């Protein structure tokens, strides 16, 4: 059947297999050529579309063990992050790293080595994985950790499923006193101020900036910077006297019932939205308040199937990281081009990364990362190739989990671990056996 990523572009034929147990998984994958493990299909581009077939791991959704004293949890790879939060937040535990959606599987989080708003302090998800069980293409199962089969471990973390099927993983949850985030919003009038604000909040647990991509001239890069901490009980009492310390989590969001027509998002509608959004945020700037976890971490999960707002053609995500010394120059050039082009970007997020993550193909590295949505129109591919050139010139790279179109040259320039990664793939017999449309496109 036709399979796409979350961005609904590109679309390829791939046969889906959905095992419900580990034994099923091993038996199935032994007979498959050119397959890729797939989680909940939240990678935007072609990462989870198998060249010939895709092994959907959602059936492996059991929790293996949980230690309430330490927060250590072992789960099967198909467990959703949302399930982990719903199960353990009531007991006072929260995942150490969460991406912008909780509708991802643990296996997917490891394969993409996802990061969250706390990367500058806590690293990426892979930094918290204590061990994982990996099924090689041969069917052999290996336990991998930073101290056991460590080369394979660091190839698998961020390895986009190209080293084998992750079956289980063990990591530790973070103890939290309440279900609230103590949030503060800071207004940055331009890019320079945004970068300085993010750099000045290294001690804050969570930080990220929402950028108004249509602001130009002196206001180029104007942002709302969201800062957050897990609220301790005392903070809840101070900010919201009498509030419950553990408000209930929200259920699934309202669905987008149909594909919006492609003209629904245009320069005028997005500019109006951005203006309103910016003013509303600015209104509350400077005053700390309590926010619930879902709107703070997963604002778009509140709108299920939000990918349909870009219409049938789908959309592209573009996320790059730029080393700090070039951030001001390169990011202002990128933002300037986007503002001039006027390609609607609902969501543009800027975030400061900490030291590079350790996976051979992990995306996060020291510097600033900018994430954009772009609807697909004529010229958008050429436009992004130009943006990629700026990224490469600054020594940056493009995030594979979001990518659907970068060139081999861009990819090879950004990922120095690639040669070693290919070597490991050869050693474990993964070449030809494990292949996604992404690995075909980029020659991994």
Partner 1 sequence: MDTGKSLLVLGGTSDIGRASALRFAKEGVAILLAGRDLDALTREAQDIAARTGVKATAHQIDILEPGAFEAFVNDLPFLPDTILCVIGLLGEQGRAQTDLAHATNILRANFEGPALLLGLFAECFEARGTGVIVGVSSVAGERGRASNYVYGAGKAGFTAFLSGLRNRFGKTKIRVITVKPGFVRTRMTKNMPLPGALTAQPQEVAEAIFRAVAVRPRDVFYVKPVWRVVMTIIKAIPEAIFKRLHI
Nearest approach, Cβ of 216 to partner 1 (angstroms)? Answer: 50
Give yes or no for a contact between 26 and 135, defined as CB atoms under 8 angstroms apart: yes
Closest by CA to 101, choosing from 371, 356, 335, is 371
- Which of residues 22 and 212 has its CB atom nearest to partner 1 in the complex? 22
Q: How far is the CB of 60 from partner 1 (least distance, A)?
A: 10
Q: Which is nearer to partner 1, 129 or 372 (CB)?
A: 129
Using the minimum distance from each CB to partner 1, give the nearer residue, 63 or 249: 63
- Of 83 and 189, the one with the shorter C-beta distance to partner 1 is 83
Give how far Cα 120 sits from Cα of 97, 123, 163, 199, 348, Å: 11, 6, 27, 10, 19
Least distance to partner 1 from the beta carbon of 66, Å?
4
CB of 20 to partner 1, least distance (A): 8
Minimum distance between the CB of residue 113 and partner 1, rounded to whole angstroms?
A: 25
Residue of 251, 247, 213 lying closest to 339 (CA atoms):
213
Instruction: Count CA atoms within 13 Å of residue 366 on its CB side.
Output: 3
Q: What angle do CA 352, 169, 396 make, to 5 degrees?
A: 25
- Look at residue 272 and give its three-state secondary structure: helix
Residue (64 or 312) nearer to partner 1, CB: 64
Shortest Å, Cβ 173 to partner 1? 12
Q: Whose Cβ is closer to partner 1: residue 102's or residue 351's?
A: 102
Nearer to partner 1, 66 or 277 (CB): 66
Structure tokens at 214: 């249509």
Binding site for partner 1 (CB under 8 A): 20-21, 62-66, 68, 73-74, 87, 91
Nearer to partner 1, 62 or 329 (CB): 62
Please report how close the Cβ of residue 169 comes to partner 1 at its closest, in angstroms.
Answer: 14
Separation between Cα atoms, residue 402 and residue 421, nearest integer Å:
20
Q: Count Cβ neighbours within 10 Å for each residue of 143-167 and write b for 16 or more, e otherwise.
A: ebeeeebeebbbbbbbbbbbbbbbb
Least distance in angstroms from the C-beta of 88 to partner 1: 9
Angle at 40 between CA 21 and CA 309, to 5 degrees: 160
What is the token pair recorded at 173? 């949850």
Q: Which residue shows structure tokens 């070597």?
A: 423
- Return d(Cα 306, Cα 44) in angstroms, integer: 12
Strand, coil or helix: 35? strand
């Amino acid at each position: 059947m036709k399979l796409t990523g979350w961005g609904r572009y590109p679309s390829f034929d791939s046969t889906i297999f959905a095992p419900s147990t580990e034994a099923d998984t091993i038996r199935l994958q032994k007979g498959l050529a050119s397959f890729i493990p797939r989680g909940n299909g939240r990678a935007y581009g072609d990462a989870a579309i198998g060249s010939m077939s895709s092994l959907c791991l959602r059936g492996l959704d059991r929790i293996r063990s949980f230690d309430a004293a330490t927060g250590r949890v072992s789960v099967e790879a198909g467990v959703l992050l949302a399930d982990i939060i719903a199960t353990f937040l009531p007991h006072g535990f929260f995942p150490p790293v969460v991406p912008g959606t909780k509708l991802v599987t643990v296996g997917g989080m490891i394969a993409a080595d996802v990061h969250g708003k706390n990367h500058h302090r806590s690293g990426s998800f892979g930094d918290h994985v204590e061990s994982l069980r990996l099924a090689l293409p041969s069917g052999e199962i290996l336990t991998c950790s930073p101290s056991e089969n460590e080369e394979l471990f660091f190839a698998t973390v961020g390895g986009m499923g190209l080293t084998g099927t992750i079956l289980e993983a063990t990591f530790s949850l973070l103890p939290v006193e309440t279900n609230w985030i103590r949030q503060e919003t800071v207004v940055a009038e331009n890019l320079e101020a945004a970068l300085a604000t993010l750099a000045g909040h290294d001690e804050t647990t969570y930080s990220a900036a929402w950028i108004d991509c249509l602001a130009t001239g002196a206001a180029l890069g104007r942002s709302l910077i969201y800062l957050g901490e897990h609220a301790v009980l005392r903070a809840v009492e101070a900010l919201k006297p009498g509030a419950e310390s553990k408000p209930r989590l929200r259920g699934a969001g309202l669905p987008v019932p149909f594909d919006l027509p492609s003209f629904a998002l245009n320069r005028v509608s997005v500019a109006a939205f951005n203006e309103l959004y910016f003013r509303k945020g600015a209104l509350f700037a400077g005053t700390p308040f309590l926010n619930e976890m879902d709107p703070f971490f997963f604002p778009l999960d509140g709108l299920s199937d939000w990918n349909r707002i870009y219409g049938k053609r789908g959309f592209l995500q573009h996320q790059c990281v730029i080393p700090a010394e070039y951030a001001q120059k390169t990011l202002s050039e990128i933002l300037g081009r986007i503002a001039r082009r006027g390609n609607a970007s609902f969501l543009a997020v800027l975030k400061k990364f900490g030291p590079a993550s350790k996976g051979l193909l992990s995306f996060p590295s020291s510097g600033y990362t900018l994430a954009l949505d772009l609807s697909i129109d004529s010229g958008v591919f050429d436009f992004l190739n130009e943006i990629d050139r700026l990224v490469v010139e600054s020594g940056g790279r493009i995030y594979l989990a979001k990518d659907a179109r970068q060139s081999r040259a861009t990819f090879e320039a950004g990922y120095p671990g690639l040669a070693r990664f290919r070597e490991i793939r050869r050693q474990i017999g993964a070449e030809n056996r494990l292949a996604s449309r992404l690995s075909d496109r980029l020659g991994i």
